[in-house]
Amino acid sequence: MEQHGKSSLAALTLGAIGVVYGDIGTSVLYAMKEVFGSGHVQFTPDNIFGILSIFFWTLTIIVSIKYVVLVLRADNNGEGGLVAMLALASMAVKDKPKLRQRMLIVGIFGTCLFYGDGVITPAISVLSAVEGLEVVSPAFKKYVIPLTIVILFGLFAVQKRGTSGIGKFFGPITVIWFVAIAALGLYHIAFHPEILWAISPHHALRFIFAEPEVTFLILGAVVLCVTGGEALYADMGHFGKKPIRMAWFTVVMPSLTLNYFGQGALLLSDPDAVSNPFFNMAPEWLLLPLVILATAATVIASQALISGAFSVTKQVVQMGFLPRLQVLHTSVKDTGQIYIPFVNWGLFAVIVLAVVMFKSSSNLAAAYGIAVCTDMLITTVLTFFVVRYSWKYPLWMCLGATGFFFVIDLTFWASNLLKLFDGGWFPLLIAAFIMMLMLIWRDGRELLNDIRQEEALDLDSFLEAVFLSPPTRVEGTAVFLTTGKGSVPNALLHNLKHNKVLHKQNLFVNVQNHEVPWIAESERLVITPLANECWQVVIHYGFKDNPDVPGALTHLRGMGCEVNPMTTSYFLSRDSIVPTLGTGMAPWREKIFAQMHLNASSAADFLNLPSNSVVELGSKIEI
């Protein structure tokens, strides 16, 4: 992403603060509370210093060094996130098919965990903010869950309007949030300036060596301070590396450090504040405004994750792991701003279930860490393959760089496994369910393609036979969408059988999706003449491109083929899947695949075909 001038960099940095760091910025609401609220840590000044030191060095090692310095370098044509990393890693080992296959499964599971995270993050963030009302007055306790659900409903209801309108407020509100949490921290640090010595790693090491079992137990809560670390990599394509790095080192990291140290200073003065150290930092007159600001910040953090869920779903669909879904564009200027109704309301339903089931942010914290740690672990593993096979660094250097982070990620992950039966199962169950659907869809499509290949006729030979005794030619252009290059589309067979005509121009268009985010316009089309005014056209898209067949066909001008939109018809085959007993998938998987295929949004909408020029011809396929 290019940046032009200081103002552009400043604007992008402000945007990054609002979108990228909302999640990690609101972790101050619950991370410290969960560590001391666990009951494992004795309440002593030495332990407070030790825990704060662990927090600071966790932020430094995992976010500052691993993500900001190392992982941000692994960009796929400027794009980041697990899907982009997976594509980068799988391309790096394309000459090792078995390893590539295993890597795809691991990477796709990590993507599925993103949905688990997408459920827990809005639930725990908004719930922890609204719980501040209990500090204002215990009488508000009964309103916390209903108010949380109302706020979440409002957030999901406005998604169809797009984020461009409210997005411009994200940066400034989040900056106010970071200034506020830094100011609260400084206020309490002023009473106990010695707390700043917790920045020394010897406090963390002393606690770890004195209490190794306790350290392992509390790591599941400590990891809450880095939730959202994946977001700064996932949003690299929107803002670029430099603004994300600048925002982290100049605003986010200092503010988080000051607030955590301020919470530590408060606990030195008032051990009873451990019930909710963040909101207990504020004087009574400031409590209600702080609750409102915290709620706004958590809504923004949730918004970033919801937008991310839309983006990831679109990418996964184009990589062939999910059926086509209705995708609505909410901005004329920014093609990246999309709304997927099914994902939006599906997420909302499961989030409400999580809020009602877990009832408090503390209970949700048990469910949170395991999804985050598994994703961090998968990112580290994929980074190794990128560094080793794509960047060609020596093995010892690759093992040293990623091995260090792997051990740390594995330790956090192992600690979070202890919370598996306390709620950690919830995001894993969501991920496993989505993974099951993805694998059914992938295997079903492969089965379908195999059947089509077996039954397919060679296009060149077929056309040669047809033009020995050609049917009536009618004016206009017919575009036949094909599933495979060089094969006869079913729609053409049906058209000849029932209508007994052939258009003057015939294009056989095959759309191919690739494991790169973008395909340059100059490389979009490959056209091959087939004689008798017929052409084979292959259109290439990356997983972040927006498929637009009519738009792509306009590039045919000057290639010997002119397409007039007013006289062009698009012919599609609408296959109906019939599950049968045989050598395909298990019967229950075939039934699910058939249902997914039936409910997929139409290819015409997905490929942006004009609705008044589409002809769909159906056929049944037994699998």
Both tokens of 511, joined, read: 């759309």
Percent of the chain with pLDDT over 70: 97
Q: Which residues of 499-513 are buried (b: 16+ CB within 10 A; e: fewer)?
A: eeebbebbbbbbbeb
Q: Distance between CA atoms of 311 and 421, rounded to whole angstroms?
A: 31
Q: Please write the tens of the pLDDT for every residue from 13-64.
A: 888 888 889 889 999 999 999 998 777 888 889 999 999 999 999 999 999 9
- CB atoms near residue 300 (< 10 Å): 26
> What are the start-end ranges of the E strands in 23-153?
none
CA 502, chain centre distance (Å): 45
First to last CA, the chain: 45
Q: Please write the tens of the pLDDT for every residue from 201-226.
A: 999 999 999 999 999 999 999 999 99
> What are the start-end ranges of the E strands in 460-567?
472-482, 501-514, 525-531, 534-542
What residue ranges do the domains of the chain occupy? 13-318+326-422, 456-622
Both tokens of 344, joined, read: 């939006």
Q: Distance between CA atoms of 282 and 278, rounded to whole angstroms?
A: 8
pLDDT band, residue 409 (cuts 50/70/90): very high
Longest distance between any two alpha carbons in the chain, whole Å: 95
Q: Please write the tens of the pLDDT for every residue from 357-388.
A: 998 888 888 788 888 899 899 999 999 999 99
Write down the pTM of the prediction: 0.84
Nearest by Cα to 603 from 591, 592, 595, 615 = 615
Q: Distance between CA atoms of 85 and 524, rounded to whole angstroms?
A: 23
Residue 550 identity (one-letter amino acid): P
pLDDT for residue 331: 62
Q: Distance between CA atoms of 113 and 597, rounded to whole angstroms?
A: 24
Across 78-85, average pLDDT: 80
Using DSSP, state whether 137 is helix, strand or coil: coil
Both tokens of 404, joined, read: 């260090």
pLDDT for residue 164: 57
Q: Please write the tens of the pLDDT for every residue from 413-456.
A: 999 999 888 888 999 999 999 999 999 999 998 888 888 778 77
pLDDT for residue 38: 73
Superfamily grouping for domain 13-318+326-422: Amino acid/polyamine transporter I (1.20.1740.10)
Q: Distance between CA atoms of 270 and 453, rounded to whole angstroms?
A: 73
- Residue 308 pLDDT > 60: yes
pLDDT for residue 165: 55
